[in-house]
Amino acid sequence: FIIRIDTSEGALHALTRKVVEAKLEEEIQGIGGANIALKMLDDHVHIIAQITPNAAVDDIVHLLMESSSELVSGMGRNEKLIWQPEFGAVSVSKSHLEILTKYVETQEERHAGGNINETLERTTSAE
pLDDT score of 25 more than 80: yes
pLDDT score of 116 more than 60: yes
Residue 33 maps to which CATH number? 3.30.70.1290
pLDDT score of 1 more than 90: no
Handedness of CA 21, 38, 87, 10 (dihedral sign): positive
Range of the domain at 117: 2-125
Total structural domains within the chain:
1
Residue 118 banded pLDDT, cuts 50, 70, 90: low
Stated pTM of the model = 0.85
What does pLDDT average to over the chain? 88
Instruction: Find out whether 75 and 19 touch, Cβ atoms under 8 Å.
Output: yes
The torsion defined by the Cα of 31, 50, 3 and 98, in degrees rounded to 10, comes to 160
pLDDT score of 111 more than 90: no
Q: Please report the pLDDT score of residue 39 as a whole number.
A: 93
Distance CA 14, CA 11 (A): 9
Distance CA 4, CA 33 (A): 21
Residue 122 banded pLDDT, cuts 50, 70, 90: low
